């Protein structure tokens, strides 16, 4: 039996094998999180790594690989262990403890970096992600609906993994300090450490990139702190005088005020065009829906718009769109929210139309357990006349997916009926759908009469995304988007009139089923029976119909506010001297905005 005594005997007999094995595993673990969370990467460098001749192949193998496989080298771990092995005077128990603490920091940072880089495609920033975690993790924990045994299992796996890492570190340090370690191993380790230092000096900040074969925690930390400081300074220095000047529409008046529906479609991304497992079904669906809209007298124009966020952070996407300002981090959003509790109202799309006589209603169907104070802050930031929350819906039927939430079909029709019954002003309705939220199952079915959905019934149990295969995940996502677009087409045909304007916008690319190469673009559809209005968007990169011909984004979310206002006043303005300015990039602080 291979007991503790035989293990000790084996380590004494094969100290070199034990040392290099422990070192390789501990080094490998530092790159495993990034590989594990990046679905496009393969465990081994792809065959294309060797394409292009011997020199590009050497570069791909030893310097830079886009495939985020775990076969890379940690500069700090290598140098640290080389010092332990080669400098006998360093072999003190307290220094060994410091090595363990430092490795724990390396591994923790590797996990953190993998999450923000692979899931959200963000650069690590302590300042930005601290506030995101502070506000988001409690909400996430409340709405994942995981069973207690999943939490218990996660804790058990975490503790077991930590124990295994500690054991490997002890084995590594003991074998590295052994007099039986061969001189060739010492020489090889010293040479590897020298190579790591040379790479760190030669490439410096590049070693902070996950694609680099030689990876430096020190340069990662430097880059993180620099980005954190810049984000802090940008947030602190924000001055809204340029914003107020650019979005001052007090000299414009609308002669006609059509009802406007701004509907963000959760996880509706351009990946639907870019992946063969989505594209044929998606294009076929759009063709069917376009025929339905055409038969009902509607016209459509579509473009791709670059979102400020990827895979999550819907509030950043829709706030950027409504505010005409790129908001790509949570601290920036929080600063704006806090600022406009006491400094009046931000001149947003909602506020602009409100000043034109619109009733601005904000619909939020997700069951968010926020305090009344938090909801009041939210409402003041948005300048909404009316906030319809989950608690106002009085919905008794089954709920689905994330949240969970009622069927979007029921929510939209219910809100429309209530708002048009109680309000006689022109309507601006904003909402974001819920039933296409990750993990896209379970989700409701489309019915002929939306009222029949509000019937008590058994709810499907939540699904653990980790138990769903990649193929099933893609299928669920496509089903969810199909439901949303069919539902929204039916909603438009049910409630629209000859003047109504419907704006359907994707908030961000879907997590788990899209990749870095898919970019940050999402579809934007303008739908109305007013052919002249819809055609006016073609001047700004929109394509007639529900599909696009060019997969490069022609818009940015933060540019939509000024674009829409320009088109709206051009078509329905009263006695205006000149059309409002279009700012394709929104307001860019401290830079001259590009105006057309």
CATH for 463: 3.40.720.10
Our count of domains for the chain comes to 2
**pLDDT on residue 529:** 98
Least reliable range by pLDDT among 71-85, 211-225, 337-351: 337-351
**pLDDT on residue 368:** 66
Name the domain boundary from 214, 232, 250. 232
Same domain flag for 205 and 286: no
The two beta strands, 260-265 and 427-432, are parallel
Residue 249 resides in a domain: no
Mean pLDDT of 74-100: 94
* pLDDT for 2 beyond 80: no
Q: DSSP state, 364?
A: -
Mean pLDDT of 42-58: 78
Q: What is the pTM of this model?
A: 0.83
* pLDDT for 430 beyond 70: yes
Determine the structural domain holding residue 150 and report its residue range: 4-232
**pLDDT on residue 145:** 57
Q: State percent of the chain over pLDDT 70.
A: 92
Average pLDDT, the chain: 88
**pLDDT on residue 594:** 39
| Integer Cα distance of 39 and 35 in angstroms | 8
Residue 230, both tokens: 């810049």
Residue 424, both tokens: 């006689």
Same domain flag for 226 and 296: no
CB 57 within 8 A of CB 198: no
pLDDT tens-place string over residues 151-196: 677 788 888 988 999 999 999 998 888 888 899 999 999 999 999 9
Same domain flag for 471 and 527: yes
Instruction: Give SS3 for 265.
Output: strand
pLDDT tens-place string over residues 195-204: 999 999 999 9
Same domain flag for 174 and 33: yes
Residue 251 resides in a domain: no
The vertex-502 CA angle with 501 and 503, nearest 5°, equals: 120
Instruction: Give SS3 for 210.
Output: coil
Residue 596 resides in a domain: no
| Sign of CA pseudo-dihedral 490, 495, 501, 504 | negative
| Sign of CA pseudo-dihedral 15, 17, 19, 25 | negative
Answer with the residue of higher pLDDT: 468 or 136.
468
Residue 518 resides in a domain: yes
Burial class (CB in 10 A: 0-12, 13-18, 19+), 277: middle
pLDDT tens-place string over residues 240-270: 888 999 999 998 999 999 999 999 999 999 9
* pLDDT for 148 beyond 70: no
**pLDDT on residue 593:** 38
Residue 588 resides in a domain: no
CB 516 within 8 A of CB 522: no
CB 521 within 8 A of CB 280: no
Same domain flag for 218 and 335: no
Residue 107 resides in a domain: yes
For residues 183, 186, 192, 193, the Cα torsion angle rounded to the nearest 10 degrees is -150
Please confirm whether the linkage preceding 442 is cis (ω < 30° from 0). Answer: yes
Confidence of residue 150 (pLDDT cuts 50, 70, 90): low
pLDDT tens-place string over residues 581-591: 999 999 876 54
Same domain flag for 442 and 374: yes
| Sign of CA pseudo-dihedral 371, 372, 376, 382 | positive
* pLDDT for 60 beyond 50: yes
Same domain flag for 292 and 363: yes
**pLDDT on residue 239:** 83
| Integer Cα distance of 583 and 596 in angstroms | 7
The vertex-199 CA angle with 197 and 202, nearest 5°, equals: 110
Ramachandran angles phi, psi of 64, nearest 5°: -145, 125
Same domain flag for 130 and 53: yes
The two beta strands, 521-528 and 501-506, are antiparallel
Same domain flag for 280 and 184: no
Find, among 558, 556, 511, the residue nearest to 266 by Cα.
Answer: 511
The two beta strands, 260-265 and 501-506, are parallel
Name the domain boundary from 232, 250, 283. 232
Same domain flag for 411 and 488: yes
CB 499 within 8 A of CB 259: yes
CB 244 within 8 A of CB 347: yes
Residue 550 resides in a domain: yes
Residue 595 resides in a domain: no
Find, among 343, 350, 362, the residue nearest to 322 by Cα.
Answer: 350
Same domain flag for 42 and 112: yes
pLDDT tens-place string over residues 394-427: 899 999 888 788 999 999 999 999 999 988 899 9
Mean pLDDT of 38-49: 77
* pLDDT for 516 beyond 60: yes
The 10 Å CB-count burial string (b at 16+, else e) for 524-558 is: bbbbbbbeebbebbeebbbbebbbbeeeebbbbbb
CB 519 within 8 A of CB 319: no
For residue 516, CA distances in Å to 33, 37, 330, 578 come to: 16, 12, 21, 41
Least reliable range by pLDDT among 327-336, 444-453, 533-542: 327-336
Confidence of residue 456 (pLDDT cuts 50, 70, 90): confident
Residue 35, both tokens: 């590989």
**pLDDT on residue 561:** 97
Confidence of residue 475 (pLDDT cuts 50, 70, 90): very high
* pLDDT for 444 beyond 60: yes
Same domain flag for 208 and 320: no
């Amino acid at each position: 039996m291979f007991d503790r005594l035989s293990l000790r005997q084996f380590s004494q007999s094969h100290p070199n094998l034990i040392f290099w094995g422990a070192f390789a595993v501990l080094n490998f673990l530092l790159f495993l999180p990034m590989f594990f969370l990046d679905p496009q990467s393969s465990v081994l460098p792809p065959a294309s790594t060797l394409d292009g001749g011997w020199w590009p192949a050497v570069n791909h193998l030893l310097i830079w690989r886009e495939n985020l496989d775990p076969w890379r080298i940690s500069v700090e771990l290598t140098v640290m262990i080389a010092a332990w092995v080669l400098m006998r005077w360093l072999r003190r128990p307290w220094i060994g403890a410091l090595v363990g603490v430092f490795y724990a920091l390396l591994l923790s940072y590797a996990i953190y970096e993998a999450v923000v880089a692979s899931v959200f495609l963000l650069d690590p920033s302590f300042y930005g992600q601290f506030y995101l975690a502070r506000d988001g993790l409690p909400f996430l924990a409340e709405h994942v609906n995981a069973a207690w045994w999943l939490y218990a299992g996660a804790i058990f796996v975490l503790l077991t993994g930590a124990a295994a890492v500690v054991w490997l570190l002890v084995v590594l340090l003991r074998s590295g300090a052994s007099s039986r370690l061969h001189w060739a191993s010492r020489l090889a380790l010293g040479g590897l450490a020298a190579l790591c230092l040379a790479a760190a000096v030669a490439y410096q900040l590049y070693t902070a990139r996950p694609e680099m074969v030689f990876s430096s925690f020190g340069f990662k930390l430097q880059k993180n702190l620099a980005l954190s400081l810049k984000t802090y300074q940008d947030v602190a220095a924000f001055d809204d005088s340029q914003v107020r000047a650019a979005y001052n529409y007090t000299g414009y008046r609308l002669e006609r005020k059509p009802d406007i529906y701004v509907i963000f479609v959760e996880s509706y991304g351009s990946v639907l065009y870019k992946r063969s497992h989505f594209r044929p079904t998606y294009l076929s669906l759009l063709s069917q829906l376009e025929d339905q809209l055409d038969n009902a007298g509607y016209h459509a124009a579509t473009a791709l718009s670059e979102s400020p966020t990827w895979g999550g952070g819907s509030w950043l996407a829709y706030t950027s769109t409504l505010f005409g300002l790129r908001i790509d981090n949570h601290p920036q959003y929080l600063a704006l929210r806090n600022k406009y509790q006491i400094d009046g109202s931000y001149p947003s799309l909602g506020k602009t139309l409100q000043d034109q006589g619109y009733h601005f209603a904000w619909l939020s169907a997700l069951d968010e357990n926020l305090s009344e104070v938090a909801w009041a802050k939210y409402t003041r930031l948005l300048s909404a006349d009316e906030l319809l929350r989950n608690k106002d819906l009085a919905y008794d039927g089954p709920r689905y997916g994330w949240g969970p939430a009622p069927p979007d079909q029921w929510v939209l029709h219910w809100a429309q009926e209530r708002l048009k019954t109680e309000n006689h002003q022109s309507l601006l309705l904003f909402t974001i759908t819920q039933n296409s939220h990750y993990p896209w199952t379970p989700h409701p079915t489309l019915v002929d009469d939306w009222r029949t959905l509000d019937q008590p019934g058994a709810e499907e149990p939540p699904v653990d995304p980790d138990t769903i295969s990649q193929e099933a995940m893609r299928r669920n996502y496509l089903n969810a988007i199909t439901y949303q677009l069919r539902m929204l087409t039916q909603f438009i045909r049910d409630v629209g009139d000859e003047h109504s304007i419907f704006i359907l916008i994707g908030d961000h690319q879907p997590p788990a089923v899209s990749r870095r190469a898919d970019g940050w673009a999402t579809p934007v559809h303008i739908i109305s029976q007013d052919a002249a209005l819809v055609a006016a968007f073609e001047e700004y990169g929109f394509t007639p119909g529900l599909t696009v011909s060019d997969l490069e984004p022609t818009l940015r979310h933060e540019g939509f506010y000024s674009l829409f206002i320009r088109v709206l006043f051009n078509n329905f303005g009263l006695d205006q001297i000149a059309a409002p300015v279009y700012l394709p990039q929104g307001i860019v602080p401290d830079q001259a905005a590009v105006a057309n």
